[in-house]
Amino acid sequence: MIFWGCMFSGKTTELQNVKNRFQHAGMNVMLLNPRRNTRDSDLVRSHDGQTAEAVQFGSKDELLTYVDRSKPDVVLIEEAQFVSYIREVCDELYDRKIHVFMAALNETFEGNPWPCIRDILHTCEVHQTWAVCRDCSSMRACHSGCIADTAPDDDGFLPGGESEYKALCTKCFGTHLEKSNHSNVQNTDT
């Protein structure tokens, strides 16, 4: 299963709830956090303040080594959009009869799908999460609008939190992109 939505829509909280349910049932649960997630390393932290211990990994081999050592019944993967090899990992874990749950952003800061997530959606149960639009208070915010004047890193990632992003509905996201593109045009003209 994948919890899939924009920032501030409760994906990490949902993942932590799954962790708690399986642990309550006596199952061995492993929470994994990709090294690319710069918010925390050995913790997964939701925007509402919940924390849970996690194992940080940087490669497919490292992730599978941790799984081999821990022998979990359930693997939870935070920020799965940062794991370009997520399809291979899921296939391997499914073959081992390990339950897999992920939290992932539905799109990049530019409004484009994350390729690795797009390629796996048809193989999982998808739970779409929603946020409240920070501009118009619509209950159907599904975009993460970048509000910081920050350039993406070399890989095109623009990591951040509340000071860099806000949840937006489709209408407000379109307006946001128009303003952003207009601003970029003005900045190059000066």
Q: Any idea where the domains of the chain sit in the sequence?
A: 2-189
Determine whether 121 is exposed, middle or buried from the number of CB atoms within 10 Å of its CB (0-12, 13-18, 19+). Answer: middle
What are 112-137's pLDDT values in tens digits?
889 999 999 999 999 999 888 988 98
What percent of the chain is modeled with pLDDT above 90?
Answer: 46
Whether 178 is catalytic is: no
Q: Give me the catalytic one of 14, 78, 79, 107.
A: 79
pTM for the full predicted model: 0.83
Strand partners, 75: 30, 100
What are 2-28's pLDDT values in tens digits?
999 988 898 999 999 999 999 999 999
Tokens of 95: 């073959």
On the question of pLDDT at 169 being above 70, the answer is yes
Neighbours of 166 (CB within 10 A): 22
Average pLDDT, the chain: 84
Span 92-111, average pLDDT: 92
Non-local (6+) Cβ contacts of 110 within 8 A are none
pLDDT band at 38 (very low <50, low <70, confident <90, very high): low
Q: State how far the Cα of 84 lies from the Cα of 25, in Å rounded to an integer.
A: 31
- The CATH number given to 2-189 is 3.40.50.300
